């Protein structure tokens, strides 16, 4: 995971380097080589910023899945929280139901205890009544019978009394069992109630923990998004500033090169040969040239790859004058790393012509030139392996073979 403390020092270091580069030499007093060195250093810094922007964008892209997972986790936690709320409500309902059951069992227990007490009281009263009747017992009743018939009658009476006693004893035993069962059920219900309360407490704790985690995840998501956005915005601003400074230095470089050329330029002592206009109406831009590379697909002499050659190469000595093939307005007059010093003329009817690799151009953007006017001199600037003119013609933005237009 990226942190701001990782990127801020790097960005600050880049800004410091830019400041040092800009503070080296006043632009107005710097030579073209010094300005080119500054441009190269700043382009390297720009490339470093671009790499950092790319790394940051890759990090953001990599973390996009993680951010989505955080959102999904939060949604899952919210669902779990809702379920826990429902469980709490259900537990509260169960507690209320347990309370009702406990109350009912308490009533049953009270009733069973009342029956047990009543049966015990009746049994004690009967025993006490028999003891108070001059020691009457079951055996005495049998021995006092006057006949066998009377004996059988007395025996049946004793049996009935014993049966009644057994019934009473069984009733007392069942009542006691009911009391014991009621007490056991009451204890079980109490245990279930305590278990439900414990589960409710644990559920509440889980709910609080999950809610806290959910809030932390949301906060982390927001902070991370803000951090990435700020870092990316800062890096893009730094790159934009660098590009502006490089563009300014490139203009200063063009001016410095031109001023240096003017300081060393020695005009030719003899009038150069002027090419004539052919039947096509287009002027050949140089004289005494050798066609070193035609129009069309070719193996690039420097890059070593096959690519489209949008013009023709005319090999000439250095400082050979270059003439405007037709009259028009200068739309480009500058230096580039590939074309070197080059000029483009808009002829106003959909046609435009371009002249590259000059040692120096002598026109400026906005100038109007006539056909045959000198616009610069053959050189070897930019991506070039020798003194030559790259000459091209385009129609409505599409390059055409210039050899079909000049003699």
What pLDDT is recorded for position 82?
A: 76
φ/ψ (deg, to 5) at 341: -75, 125
What pLDDT is recorded for position 129?
A: 65
Residue 263 corresponds to which tokens in the numbers above? 């300081």
CA 193 to chain centre: 49
pLDDT digit string (tens) for the chain, length 407 residues: 444 444 545 555 555 555 544 444 444 457 878 887 888 888 888 888 888 888 888 878 777 777 777 777 767 777 777 777 777 777 777 777 767 777 776 777 777 777 777 777 776 776 666 655 544 455 555 566 667 677 776 677 767 776 776 777 777 777 767 767 776 777 777 677 778 767 777 877 777 777 777 777 767 767 777 787 788 888 888 888 888 888 787 767 766 766 776 666 555 555 455 566 666 689 999 988 888 888 877 554 544 455 677 899 999 899 999 999 999 999 999 998 888 999 999 998 899 999 999 999 999 999 999 999 999 999 999 888 789 999 999 999 899 999 889 86
- Rg of the chain over Cα atoms, rounded to whole angstroms, equals 55
What pLDDT is recorded for position 199?
A: 78
| CA proximity to 383, closest of 304, 316, 302 | 302
Kindly report the average pLDDT of the chain as a whole number: 76
CA-to-CA distance for 286 and 387, rounded, in angstroms? Answer: 13
The set of long-range contacts for 5-11, using a CB threshold of 8 Å and a minimum separation of 24, is 7/52, 7/56, 7/231, 7/234, 7/235, 10/52, 11/52, 11/234, 11/235, 11/238
Question: What is the pTM assigned to this prediction?
Answer: 0.38
What pLDDT is recorded for position 110?
A: 77
What pLDDT is recorded for position 1?
A: 46
Question: In this structure, are strands 340-346 and 312-315 parallel, antiparallel, or unpaired?
Answer: unpaired
Q: What is the DSSP letter of 403?
A: G
Helix (H, G, I), strand (E, B) or coil at 287: coil
Residue 150 corresponds to which tokens in the numbers above? 């009377």
Contact present, 354 and 374 (Cβ < 8 Å):
no
Tell me the pLDDT tens digit for each residue of 242-254.
Answer: 888 887 877 677 6
């Amino acid at each position: 995971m990226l942190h701001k403390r990782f990127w801020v020092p790097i960005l600050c270091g880049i800004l410091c380097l830019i400041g040092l580069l800009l503070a080296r030499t006043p632009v107005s007093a710097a030579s073209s080589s010094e300005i080119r060195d500054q441009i190269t250093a700043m382009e390297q810094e720009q490339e470093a910023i671009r790499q950092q922007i790319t790394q940051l964008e890759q990090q953001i892209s990599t973390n996009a899945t993680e951010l989505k997972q955080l959102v999904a986790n939060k949604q899952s936690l919210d669902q779990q929280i809702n379920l826990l709320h429902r469980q709490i409500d259900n537990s509260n309902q169960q507690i209320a139901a347990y309370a009702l059951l406990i109350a009912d069992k308490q009533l049953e227990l009270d009733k069973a205890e009342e029956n047990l007490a009543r049966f015990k009281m009746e049994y004690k009263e009967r025993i006490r009544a028999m003891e108070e009747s001059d020691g009457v017992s079951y055996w005495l009743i049998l021995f006092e019978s006057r006949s066998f018939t009377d004996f059988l009658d007395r025996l049946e009476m004793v049996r009935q009394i014993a049966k009644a006693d057994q019934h009473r004893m069984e009733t007392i035993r069942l009542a006691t069992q009911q009391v014991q069962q009621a007490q056991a059920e009451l204890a079980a219900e109490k245990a279930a109630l305590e278990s439900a309360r414990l589960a409710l407490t644990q559920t509440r704790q889980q709910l609080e923990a999950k809610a806290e985690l959910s809030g932390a995840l949301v906060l982390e998501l927001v902070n991370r998004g803000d951090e990435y956005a700020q870092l990316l915005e800062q890096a893009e601003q730094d790159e934009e500033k660098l590009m502006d400074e490089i563009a300014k230095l490139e203009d200063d470089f063009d001016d410095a090169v031109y001023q240096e050329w003017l300081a060393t330029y020695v005009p030719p002592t003899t009038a150069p040969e002027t090419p004539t206009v052919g039947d096509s109406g287009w002027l050949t831009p140089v004289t005494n040239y050798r066609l070193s590379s035609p129009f069309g697909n070719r193996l690039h002499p420097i890059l070593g790859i096959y690519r489209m050659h949008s013009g023709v190469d005319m090999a000439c000595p250095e400082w050979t004058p270059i003439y405007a093939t037709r009259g028009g307005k200068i739309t480009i007059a500058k230096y580039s790393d590939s074309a070197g010093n080059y000029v483009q003329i808009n002829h106003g009817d959909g046609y435009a012509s371009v002249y590259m690799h000059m040692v120096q151009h002598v026109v400026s953007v906005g100038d109007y030139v006539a056909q045959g006017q000198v616009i610069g001199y053959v050189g070897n600037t930019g991506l070039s392996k020798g003194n030559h003119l790259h000459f091209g013609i385009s129609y409505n933005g599409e390059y055409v073979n210039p050899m079909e237009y000049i003699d």
